[in-house]
Structure 1
């Protein structure tokens, strides 16, 4: 029954989303950034790892290099394109990891209760006791710097957020009439969770996952800035900022920091606006205007 209600409410939610200016702007930005990431190998004017022009080191933006060049003479536009690709891959993989683990543990904690819920609650509190970037740094320090370690670290940071959200949704739904009816008809707990409670909980979880992509982008850039994320020659936006500051030419060649920083900002802004639009669209208390 709840699935049929979801299908009936889908067109109404789409209309509410399209009425949200923040949602439309976020969707357009997210699509553009995703297309840039996907088409980077086709659009690239230069190779990001091998093409270097040492005679054009730190060259200002020009017709040959629209975003200028870095300290090694590499085309900054190409590096930024591939940097967006790397950042989005890290963000999507890490959020998927945090969502998968957090969703499973949150469903169990909210439905099973008892000692299992207490243990998962303790785990959540321990993870939340650390600032997210410090926890990510600690994990990467143990596992070693690199792209895969950054994905795992940022993913672990996301886990307690999804645990708390999912557990709260389960606790609010487990006494609802449709759940009680399913249990009375003899449905197994796994079926109750996956076919009744989970579909009814998807709206806030989808919104949180969208917002988490922006947060993960910032955390991945922070790890890259500290030299703990993607390692050379892999282009990454945080690493590009770090190279500019460490080299001491962030002021003499401001384009080396402006363009990577601008793309980080646009990525975070895109998914935050998209998440706000989805929240307005999926909120059952919203009304059509």
Structure 2
């Protein structure tokens, strides 16, 4: 596996690479990230290359968020990428990615105004900007993202559509711990007591989906199931949002027939955890 840290070396690698499957990450990798790389390897077969990036993007952190303390574990991240089948990892510095006098940034004006975007203004503009730059640098034919951050996946699909990037986007199912908690780099922030309560997020989503499959279609009632479950089983958590939305537009749905999504974000002191469940028959 090749480690590349400069744009110059990346462009030289890309000229000889042929077809490329790309997995962008912010590092602090866990089994969920490894699954994305393995899925990219399966999709790529033996004829295409698998590239990953490790870059903690300052543009997607707010002024009071955890950019400075976000875990940086490059050595173990590289070992995980290699074991999962990556051919190349691009791990640049901030100075290598952003000019000090940069004055252009991508803005998203619809999908980013709800869910996580409502409480993290500017976050998805930072995501769109860095993903667009990485797509221009790596020039992948395909890119692989996890469904855990469903809003991010929807926005990246829109970015590719609206700006005509020649990249096919693959969404991969959320990878979970044995107790259902979605794997996340921020899970390491949880105290033992918080970690014991965190699986209630997934359990609450599953209860709501079971009620829907049983015939309940009123969004307010489905969301109330989640609120009640979290109140009983995740008292240490502080809810940021819980919403039932259309899977494609991310707009709220008063009633649900099909093709919906329930998404939530909950704070456990230093850790902000997100999860979702697709409501599809």
Structure having the higher Rg: 1
Q: How does the TM-score come out when normalised to structure 2? A: 0.24
More helix by share: 1
Provide TM-score, normalisation by structure 1: 0.23
Greater RCO (Cα-Cα under 8 Å, separation 6 or more): 1
